């Protein structure tokens, strides 16, 4: 079924569910929150319906949904225990939560990011849980960059990618011990219900993996100069205080963060360059910051930086 046909149907489903939850629905707030190949998200009043990517594995999504429903202190609780089938697309339903305010960087919930990740990483790892998909996403971003052809910024990004260990390129199993990981952490993955605390959303990449991966995107932002050190420190302190397991209490976090932070910098740079090429525009200053970081990685293969995990 095409996306144009999917949207109205998805909206109708969200509307149905919203009306079972709120008998006095004003029917005001309806709209698409996101409409991308990897998922279409529609909101009606306090209900959100997400149509997952067409290639989503039904069994894996069901397991991920069950795991997230079992961690109400970490994840926004799903409405309903199993994904629905909407003409071949898997759909899940969620309460609507307010996102992080993009116009107020000072109000960003860095402590909540640290605490929620620590709670997630400390959670019991269920036996029947799929693999965390972080490295796979990085590999897909690099494949996308290769597909758009030559660009002066592509070479340093691909060089930095080639220097990564196989596990970070999704070509070997991730180092053990594994923990329950989100797999695609960024600030858009935090929402809160009215008067409620912050919770994580988006379970598509959830699974067993290397917990440092979840900290690695903020680490990459910090390393690339996007995230001030003070805010990065607040996140790390909250993660430590909540007993996060990605690194030991007295350890330098960069011993485990170096490899995944390089991988996420490469992923970001790959997407950035791919987008610029596709849109036929030059890289802006922030785009160049991530490409420059890839360039510096090639010059620092591990002698001057911290030892990477095998």
Partner 1 sequence: MQCPKCRAPMHTYNRNGIQIEQCSGCRGIFLDYGELESLTRLEAQWSQSAPPPVPPAAPQAYPAAPQPAWGAPHGGHHYGHHRNKGFGRMLFSS
The residue sitting closest to Zn ion, measured at its beta carbon, is: 25
Give 130's Cβ-side CA count (13 Å radius).
22
Query: Per rule CB under 8 A, is residue 268 in the interface with partner 1?
Result: yes
**Near Zn ion by CB under 5 A: residue from 25, 86, 136, 178:** 25
Site residues for partner 1, window 100-139 (CB under 8 A)?
100, 102-103, 105, 108, 137
Residue 58 interacts with, from Zn ion, partner 1, none (CB under 5-8 Å by kind): none
Question: Alpha-carbon distance 200 to 185, whole Å?
Answer: 9
Stretch that binds partner 1, among 9-17, 25-33, 72-80, 179-187 (CB under 8 A): 179-187
The three-state (H, E, C) secondary structure of the chain, written as one string: CCHHHHHHHHHHHHHHHHHHHCCCCCCCCEEEEEEECCEEEEEECCEEEEEECCCCCHHHHHHHHHHHHCCCCCECCCEEEEEEEECCEEEEEEECCEECCCCCHHHCCHHHHHHHHHHHHHCCCCCCCCECCHHHHHHHHHHHHHHCCCCCCHHHHHHHHHCCCHHHHCCCCCCCCCEEECCCCCHHHEEECCCCCEEECCCCCCEEECCHHHHHHHHHHHHHCCCCHHHHHHHHHHHHHCCCCCCCCCCCCHHHHHHHHHHHHHHHHHHHHHHHHHHCCCCCHHHHHHHHHHHHHHHCCCCCCCCCCC
Residue 103 interacts with, from Zn ion, partner 1, none (CB under 5-8 Å by kind): partner 1
Query: Per rule CB under 8 A, is residue 80 in the interface with partner 1?
Result: no
Query: What is the closest distance, in whole angstroms, from the C-beta atom of residue 194 to Zn ion in the complex?
Result: 17
Nearest alpha carbon to residue 203 among 94, 121, 45, 124: 94
Query: Per rule CB under 8 A, is residue 155 in the interface with partner 1?
Result: no
**Near partner 1 by CB under 8 A: residue from 129, 167, 271, 277:** 271
Instruction: With CB under 5 A as the rule, give the number of residues binding Zn ion.
Output: 4
Query: What is the closest distance, in whole angstroms, from the C-beta atom of residue 20 to partner 1 in the complex?
Result: 31
Stretch that binds partner 1, among 23-31, 88-96, 184-192, 208-216 (CB under 8 A): 184-192
Stretch that binds partner 1, among 13-21, 58-66, 88-96, 186-194 (CB under 8 A): 186-194
**Near partner 1 by CB under 8 A: residue from 18, 180, 262, 263:** 262
Nearer to partner 1, 17 or 139 (CB): 139
Stretch that binds partner 1, among 12-20, 88-96, 144-152, 216-224 (CB under 8 A): 216-224
Question: Alpha-carbon distance 11 to 95, whole Å?
Answer: 14
Query: What is the closest distance, in whole angstroms, from the C-beta atom of residue 200 to partner 1 in the complex?
Result: 13
Query: Per rule CB under 8 A, is residue 188 in the interface with partner 1?
Result: yes
Query: Per rule CB under 5 A, is residue 45 in the interface with Zn ion?
Result: yes
Residue 268 interacts with, from Zn ion, partner 1, none (CB under 5-8 Å by kind): partner 1
**Near Zn ion by CB under 5 A: residue from 5, 27, 241, 300:** 27
Point out which residues bind Zn ion (CB under 5 A).
18, 25, 27, 45
């Amino acid at each position: 079924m095409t996306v144009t046909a999917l949207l109205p149907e998805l909206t109708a489903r969200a509307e149905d569910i919203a009306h079972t939850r709120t008998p006095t629905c004003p029917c005001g707030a309806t709209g698409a929150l996101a409409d991308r190949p990897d998922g279409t998200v529609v909101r009606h009043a306090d209900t959100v319906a997400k149509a997952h990517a067409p290639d989503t594995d039904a069994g894996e999504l069901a397991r991920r949904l069950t795991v997230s429903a079992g961690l109400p202190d970490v994840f926004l609780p799903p409405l309903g225990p199993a994904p629905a089938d909407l003409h071949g697309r898997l759909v899940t339903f969620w309460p609507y939560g307010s996102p992080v305010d993009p116009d107020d960087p000072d109000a960003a919930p860095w402590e909540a990011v640290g605490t929620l990740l620590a709670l997630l990483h400390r959670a019991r790892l269920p036996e029947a849980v799929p693999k965390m998909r972080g490295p796979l996403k990085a590999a897909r971003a690099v494949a996308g960059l290769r597909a758009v052809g030559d660009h002066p910024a592509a070479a340093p990004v691909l060089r930095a990618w080639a220097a990564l260990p196989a596990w970070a390129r999704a070509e070997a199993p991730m180092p053990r011990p594994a923990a329950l990981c989100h797999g695609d952490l960024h600030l858009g993955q935090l929402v809160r219900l009215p008067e409620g605390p912050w919770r994580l959303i988006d379970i598509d990449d959830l699974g067993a993996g290397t917990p440092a991966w979840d900290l690695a995107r903020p680490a990459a932002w910090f390393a690339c100069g996007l995230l001030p050190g003070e805010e990065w420190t607040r996140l790390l302190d909250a993660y430590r205080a909540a007993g996060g397991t990605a690194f030991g209490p007295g350890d330098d976090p960069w011993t485990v963060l170096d490899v995944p932070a390089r991988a996420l910098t490469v992923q970001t740079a790959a997407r950035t360059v791919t987008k610029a090429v596709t849109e036929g525009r030059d890289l802006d200053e922030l785009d160049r910051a991530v490409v420059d970081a890839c360039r510096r990685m090639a010059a620092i293969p591990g002698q001057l930086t911290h030892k990477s995990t095998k």
